[in-house]
Structure 1
Amino acid sequence: METGSQTHTSNPDPNPNPNNPNNRNPSPNRSSIVFGSSPLWPTIDGPLGLSEEASVNYARSFYSFGFAMLPWLWALNCFYFWPVLRHSRSFPRIRHYVVRSAVGFGVFTAILATWALTFAIGGKPLFGPVWDQLVMYNLADRLGLTGWS
Protein backbone atom coordinates (compact mmCIF):
# COMPACT_ATOMS: atom_id res chain seq x y z
CA MET A 1 0.00 0.00 0.00
CA GLU A 2 1.68 3.12 -1.22
CA THR A 3 0.26 6.36 0.09
CA GLY A 4 2.76 8.70 -1.46
CA SER A 5 2.54 7.58 -5.08
CA GLN A 6 -0.58 8.80 -6.75
CA THR A 7 -0.93 8.90 -10.47
CA HIS A 8 -1.76 12.34 -11.75
CA THR A 9 -2.51 12.94 -15.40
CA SER A 10 -2.02 16.43 -16.63
CA ASN A 11 -4.03 17.97 -19.41
CA PRO A 12 -1.75 19.50 -22.06
CA ASP A 13 -4.46 22.02 -22.92
CA PRO A 14 -5.88 23.38 -19.64
CA ASN A 15 -8.66 25.34 -21.38
CA PRO A 16 -9.96 23.27 -24.31
CA ASN A 17 -12.47 24.90 -26.58
CA PRO A 18 -15.54 22.61 -26.81
CA ASN A 19 -16.57 24.31 -30.05
CA ASN A 20 -13.31 23.27 -31.69
CA PRO A 21 -14.10 21.10 -34.75
CA ASN A 22 -11.23 18.76 -33.80
CA ASN A 23 -12.95 17.96 -30.51
CA ARG A 24 -15.30 15.13 -31.48
CA ASN A 25 -17.05 14.84 -28.14
CA PRO A 26 -17.78 18.36 -26.93
CA SER A 27 -18.97 18.42 -23.36
CA PRO A 28 -19.52 21.70 -21.59
CA ASN A 29 -18.22 22.26 -18.13
CA ARG A 30 -21.52 21.90 -16.31
CA SER A 31 -20.22 23.57 -13.15
CA SER A 32 -19.38 26.73 -15.09
CA ILE A 33 -22.94 26.94 -16.39
CA VAL A 34 -24.45 26.37 -12.97
CA PHE A 35 -22.29 28.89 -11.13
CA GLY A 36 -22.95 31.85 -13.38
CA SER A 37 -20.46 32.08 -16.23
CA SER A 38 -21.68 32.42 -19.78
CA PRO A 39 -23.25 29.43 -21.48
CA LEU A 40 -21.52 27.90 -24.46
CA TRP A 41 -24.62 27.77 -26.64
CA PRO A 42 -27.43 30.29 -27.06
CA THR A 43 -30.28 27.75 -27.25
CA ILE A 44 -31.65 25.13 -24.89
CA ASP A 45 -30.59 22.48 -27.42
CA GLY A 46 -26.94 22.89 -26.50
CA PRO A 47 -24.57 21.59 -29.16
CA LEU A 48 -27.48 20.29 -31.24
CA GLY A 49 -29.02 23.76 -31.54
CA LEU A 50 -28.35 26.71 -33.78
CA SER A 51 -25.15 28.60 -34.34
CA GLU A 52 -24.89 32.13 -33.01
CA GLU A 53 -25.50 33.66 -36.45
CA ALA A 54 -28.62 31.58 -37.06
CA SER A 55 -29.79 32.27 -33.51
CA VAL A 56 -29.71 36.02 -34.12
CA ASN A 57 -31.97 35.58 -37.16
CA TYR A 58 -34.42 33.32 -35.32
CA ALA A 59 -34.57 35.56 -32.25
CA ARG A 60 -35.20 38.60 -34.46
CA SER A 61 -37.94 36.76 -36.39
CA PHE A 62 -39.72 35.54 -33.24
CA TYR A 63 -39.55 39.04 -31.78
CA SER A 64 -40.86 40.73 -34.95
CA PHE A 65 -43.68 38.26 -35.60
CA GLY A 66 -44.79 38.63 -31.98
CA PHE A 67 -46.05 42.10 -32.92
CA ALA A 68 -48.23 40.58 -35.65
CA MET A 69 -50.78 39.51 -33.04
CA LEU A 70 -48.75 36.35 -32.26
CA PRO A 71 -47.40 37.13 -28.78
CA TRP A 72 -47.02 33.44 -28.03
CA LEU A 73 -43.93 33.63 -30.25
CA TRP A 74 -42.45 35.90 -27.60
CA ALA A 75 -42.93 33.11 -25.06
CA LEU A 76 -41.35 30.65 -27.49
CA ASN A 77 -38.43 33.04 -27.98
CA CYS A 78 -37.87 33.22 -24.21
CA PHE A 79 -38.11 29.46 -23.84
CA TYR A 80 -35.83 28.54 -26.73
CA PHE A 81 -33.19 31.11 -25.86
CA TRP A 82 -33.41 30.54 -22.10
CA PRO A 83 -29.59 30.38 -21.63
CA VAL A 84 -29.33 33.86 -23.16
CA LEU A 85 -32.12 35.21 -20.97
CA ARG A 86 -30.71 33.65 -17.81
CA HIS A 87 -27.12 34.85 -18.19
CA SER A 88 -26.95 38.63 -18.41
CA ARG A 89 -23.59 38.90 -20.17
CA SER A 90 -24.04 36.19 -22.77
CA PHE A 91 -24.69 36.69 -26.47
CA PRO A 92 -25.49 40.43 -26.47
CA ARG A 93 -26.73 40.41 -30.10
CA ILE A 94 -29.39 37.82 -29.24
CA ARG A 95 -30.16 39.06 -25.73
CA HIS A 96 -31.61 42.32 -27.06
CA TYR A 97 -34.44 40.45 -28.80
CA VAL A 98 -35.00 37.87 -26.07
CA VAL A 99 -35.31 40.40 -23.24
CA ARG A 100 -37.74 42.51 -25.26
CA SER A 101 -39.74 39.38 -26.05
CA ALA A 102 -39.94 38.62 -22.32
CA VAL A 103 -41.17 42.13 -21.58
CA GLY A 104 -43.68 42.00 -24.44
CA PHE A 105 -45.02 38.63 -23.33
CA GLY A 106 -45.29 39.84 -19.74
CA VAL A 107 -47.29 42.90 -20.79
CA PHE A 108 -49.49 40.80 -23.08
CA THR A 109 -50.16 38.27 -20.31
CA ALA A 110 -51.02 41.00 -17.79
CA ILE A 111 -53.47 42.66 -20.20
CA LEU A 112 -55.09 39.36 -21.19
CA ALA A 113 -55.42 38.20 -17.58
CA THR A 114 -56.89 41.54 -16.52
CA TRP A 115 -59.42 41.45 -19.34
CA ALA A 116 -60.43 37.83 -18.64
CA LEU A 117 -60.70 38.31 -14.89
CA THR A 118 -62.71 41.51 -15.31
CA PHE A 119 -65.39 39.70 -17.27
CA ALA A 120 -65.21 36.43 -15.31
CA ILE A 121 -65.36 37.96 -11.83
CA GLY A 122 -67.09 41.28 -12.47
CA GLY A 123 -69.95 40.34 -14.73
CA LYS A 124 -73.30 42.08 -14.50
CA PRO A 125 -72.71 43.62 -11.04
CA LEU A 126 -69.63 45.42 -12.35
CA PHE A 127 -70.96 46.58 -15.73
CA GLY A 128 -74.65 47.07 -14.90
CA PRO A 129 -77.09 47.40 -17.81
CA VAL A 130 -74.27 47.61 -20.37
CA TRP A 131 -73.49 43.95 -19.65
CA ASP A 132 -76.25 42.78 -22.00
CA GLN A 133 -74.55 44.53 -24.94
CA LEU A 134 -71.08 43.24 -24.00
CA VAL A 135 -71.79 39.53 -23.71
CA MET A 136 -71.97 37.30 -26.75
CA TYR A 137 -74.27 34.55 -25.48
CA ASN A 138 -77.41 36.51 -26.37
CA LEU A 139 -76.17 37.64 -29.78
CA ALA A 140 -78.31 35.09 -31.64
CA ASP A 141 -81.41 36.32 -29.81
CA ARG A 142 -80.66 39.96 -30.65
CA LEU A 143 -80.13 39.18 -34.34
CA GLY A 144 -83.20 36.95 -34.55
CA LEU A 145 -81.23 33.83 -35.46
CA THR A 146 -82.87 31.49 -32.97
CA GLY A 147 -86.05 30.73 -34.93
CA TRP A 148 -86.21 28.90 -38.26
CA SER A 149 -89.24 30.76 -39.56
Structure 2
Amino acid sequence: MEAPQSQSQMQVQVQLQGNSSSNPNPNPDPSPIRSTGGIWPTIDGPLGLSEEESVSYARRFYKFGFALLPLLWAVNCFYFWPVLRHSRSFPRIRPYIVGSAVGFTVFSALLCTWALTFSLGGERLFGPVWDQLVMYNLADRLGLTAWN
Protein backbone atom coordinates (compact mmCIF):
# COMPACT_ATOMS: atom_id res chain seq x y z
CA MET A 1 0.00 0.00 0.00
CA GLU A 2 1.25 3.47 -0.92
CA ALA A 3 1.98 6.02 1.77
CA PRO A 4 -0.09 9.18 1.52
CA GLN A 5 1.82 12.09 0.00
CA SER A 6 2.22 15.32 1.85
CA GLN A 7 0.60 18.43 0.52
CA SER A 8 3.94 20.04 -0.48
CA GLN A 9 4.91 16.96 -2.53
CA MET A 10 1.59 17.08 -4.36
CA GLN A 11 2.05 20.80 -5.12
CA VAL A 12 5.51 20.16 -6.55
CA GLN A 13 4.16 17.39 -8.78
CA VAL A 14 1.31 19.59 -10.00
CA GLN A 15 3.72 22.44 -10.76
CA LEU A 16 6.08 20.12 -12.64
CA GLN A 17 3.25 18.62 -14.65
CA GLY A 18 1.81 22.04 -15.40
CA ASN A 19 5.15 23.44 -16.57
CA SER A 20 6.01 20.47 -18.77
CA SER A 21 2.70 20.46 -20.58
CA SER A 22 2.29 24.21 -21.07
CA ASN A 23 5.84 25.16 -22.08
CA PRO A 24 8.32 22.35 -22.78
CA ASN A 25 11.01 24.89 -23.75
CA PRO A 26 11.81 27.20 -20.83
CA ASN A 27 13.44 29.69 -23.22
CA PRO A 28 10.62 31.84 -24.64
CA ASP A 29 12.87 33.17 -27.44
CA PRO A 30 14.17 30.26 -29.55
CA SER A 31 16.53 32.48 -31.56
CA PRO A 32 19.77 33.15 -29.64
CA ILE A 33 20.82 35.86 -32.09
CA ARG A 34 18.12 38.33 -31.15
CA SER A 35 19.33 38.72 -27.59
CA THR A 36 22.98 38.67 -26.67
CA GLY A 37 22.24 37.09 -23.30
CA GLY A 38 23.11 33.61 -24.58
CA ILE A 39 25.92 34.61 -26.94
CA TRP A 40 29.35 35.57 -25.68
CA PRO A 41 31.89 37.43 -27.81
CA THR A 42 34.68 34.93 -27.08
CA ILE A 43 34.98 31.16 -27.28
CA ASP A 44 35.46 31.12 -23.50
CA GLY A 45 31.78 31.86 -22.94
CA PRO A 46 31.00 33.40 -19.55
CA LEU A 47 34.61 32.90 -18.43
CA GLY A 48 35.92 35.13 -21.22
CA LEU A 49 36.06 38.86 -21.68
CA SER A 50 33.23 41.32 -21.32
CA GLU A 51 32.02 43.13 -24.42
CA GLU A 52 33.98 46.31 -23.59
CA GLU A 53 37.22 44.39 -23.09
CA SER A 54 36.52 42.38 -26.23
CA VAL A 55 36.36 45.52 -28.36
CA SER A 56 39.74 46.61 -27.01
CA TYR A 57 41.42 43.22 -27.57
CA ALA A 58 39.90 42.73 -31.03
CA ARG A 59 41.08 46.19 -32.09
CA ARG A 60 44.61 45.54 -30.79
CA PHE A 61 44.93 42.14 -32.49
CA TYR A 62 43.63 43.64 -35.73
CA LYS A 63 46.10 46.54 -35.71
CA PHE A 64 49.12 44.46 -34.64
CA GLY A 65 48.36 42.06 -37.51
CA PHE A 66 49.50 44.82 -39.88
CA ALA A 67 52.88 44.94 -38.12
CA LEU A 68 53.97 41.80 -40.00
CA LEU A 69 52.26 39.58 -37.43
CA PRO A 70 49.41 38.10 -39.48
CA LEU A 71 49.09 35.13 -37.16
CA LEU A 72 47.45 37.54 -34.72
CA TRP A 73 44.65 37.84 -37.27
CA ALA A 74 44.18 34.07 -37.07
CA VAL A 75 44.18 34.21 -33.27
CA ASN A 76 41.65 37.04 -33.43
CA CYS A 77 39.34 35.00 -35.67
CA PHE A 78 39.68 31.91 -33.48
CA TYR A 79 39.17 33.67 -30.15
CA PHE A 80 36.21 35.72 -31.35
CA TRP A 81 34.64 32.92 -33.40
CA PRO A 82 31.10 33.55 -32.00
CA VAL A 83 31.25 37.11 -33.36
CA LEU A 84 32.31 35.83 -36.77
CA ARG A 85 29.69 33.12 -36.77
CA HIS A 86 26.66 35.23 -35.78
CA SER A 87 26.45 38.03 -38.31
CA ARG A 88 24.02 40.24 -36.38
CA SER A 89 25.69 40.05 -32.98
CA PHE A 90 28.24 42.45 -31.49
CA PRO A 91 28.31 45.14 -34.19
CA ARG A 92 31.18 47.02 -32.46
CA ILE A 93 33.53 44.01 -32.54
CA ARG A 94 32.52 42.52 -35.88
CA PRO A 95 34.45 44.91 -38.23
CA TYR A 96 37.75 44.01 -36.54
CA ILE A 97 37.06 40.29 -36.72
CA VAL A 98 35.93 40.36 -40.35
CA GLY A 99 38.96 42.50 -41.22
CA SER A 100 41.20 39.98 -39.48
CA ALA A 101 39.60 37.12 -41.40
CA VAL A 102 40.09 38.92 -44.72
CA GLY A 103 43.67 39.88 -43.85
CA PHE A 104 44.62 36.37 -42.83
CA THR A 105 43.01 34.90 -45.94
CA VAL A 106 44.94 37.29 -48.21
CA PHE A 107 48.18 36.62 -46.31
CA SER A 108 47.67 32.85 -46.55
CA ALA A 109 46.94 33.05 -50.28
CA LEU A 110 50.08 35.11 -50.91
CA LEU A 111 52.25 32.82 -48.79
CA CYS A 112 50.95 29.68 -50.52
CA THR A 113 51.42 31.26 -53.94
CA TRP A 114 55.00 32.23 -53.11
CA ALA A 115 55.80 28.77 -51.70
CA LEU A 116 54.30 26.95 -54.68
CA THR A 117 56.09 29.23 -57.14
CA PHE A 118 59.48 28.44 -55.64
CA SER A 119 58.86 24.76 -55.03
CA LEU A 120 57.27 23.94 -58.39
CA GLY A 121 58.95 26.52 -60.65
CA GLY A 122 62.47 26.41 -59.32
CA GLU A 123 65.38 26.76 -61.67
CA ARG A 124 63.23 26.23 -64.78
CA LEU A 125 61.15 29.31 -63.93
CA PHE A 126 63.87 31.66 -62.69
CA GLY A 127 66.84 30.51 -64.78
CA PRO A 128 70.35 31.54 -63.69
CA VAL A 129 68.96 33.94 -61.03
CA TRP A 130 67.75 30.90 -59.12
CA ASP A 131 71.14 30.36 -57.47
CA GLN A 132 71.01 33.85 -55.99
CA LEU A 133 67.43 33.48 -54.73
CA VAL A 134 67.61 30.23 -52.81
CA MET A 135 68.87 30.18 -49.25
CA TYR A 136 70.62 26.81 -49.27
CA ASN A 137 73.28 28.21 -51.59
CA LEU A 138 73.89 31.11 -49.23
CA ALA A 139 75.77 28.92 -46.75
CA ASP A 140 77.99 27.63 -49.57
CA ARG A 141 78.73 31.16 -50.78
CA LEU A 142 79.66 32.35 -47.29
CA GLY A 143 81.79 29.28 -46.58
CA LEU A 144 79.68 28.10 -43.64
CA THR A 145 79.49 24.48 -44.71
CA ALA A 146 82.15 22.01 -43.60
CA TRP A 147 81.87 19.71 -46.61
CA ASN A 148 83.51 22.14 -49.08
Distance apart, 1:113 and its partner CA: 0.5
Counterpart of 1:94 in structure 2: which amino acid? I
Aligned residue number for residue 18 of structure 2: 8
Report the residue type matching 1:74 in the other structure: W
Name the % identity. 75
Unaligned residue ranges in structure 1 (runs of 5+): 17-28
Deviation string for 1:79-123 (max 9, x for gaps)? 111111011111010001000000000000001000111111111
Matched, 1:143 2:142: yes
The whole-number CA distance in structure 2 between the counterparts of 1:140 and 1:44 is: 45
Q: Which residue of 2 aligns with 1:22?
A: none
1:96 aligns with 2:95: yes
User: In the TM superposition, what is the alpha-carbon distance from 1:48 to its structure 2 partner?
Assistant: 1.1
Identify the residue that residue 4 of structure 2 maps to in structure 1. Answer: none
Instruction: Provide TM-score, normalisation by structure 2.
Output: 0.75
How far did residue 37 of structure 1 move? 5.0
> 1:130 aligns to what?
129
Which structure carries more helix by proportion? 2
TM-score (norm 1): 0.74
Give 1:7 shift: 2.3
Question: Distance in 2 between the 1:113 and 1:65 partners?
Answer: 22
Tell me what 1:84 maps to: 83
State the superposition RMSD in angstroms.
2.7
After superposition, where does 1:53-132 map in structure 2 within 5 Å?
53-132=52-131
Rg larger in structure: 2
Q: How far off its partner does 1:146 sit?
A: 4.0
In structure 1, the partner of 2:43 is 44
Question: What is the rounded CA distance, in whole Å, between the counterparts of 1:126 and 1:37 in structure 2?
Answer: 55
Q: Could you tell me how far 1:15 is from its partner in structure 2? A: 6.4
Q: 1:61 deviation in Å?
A: 0.8
Stretches (4+) displaced over 4 A: 36-39
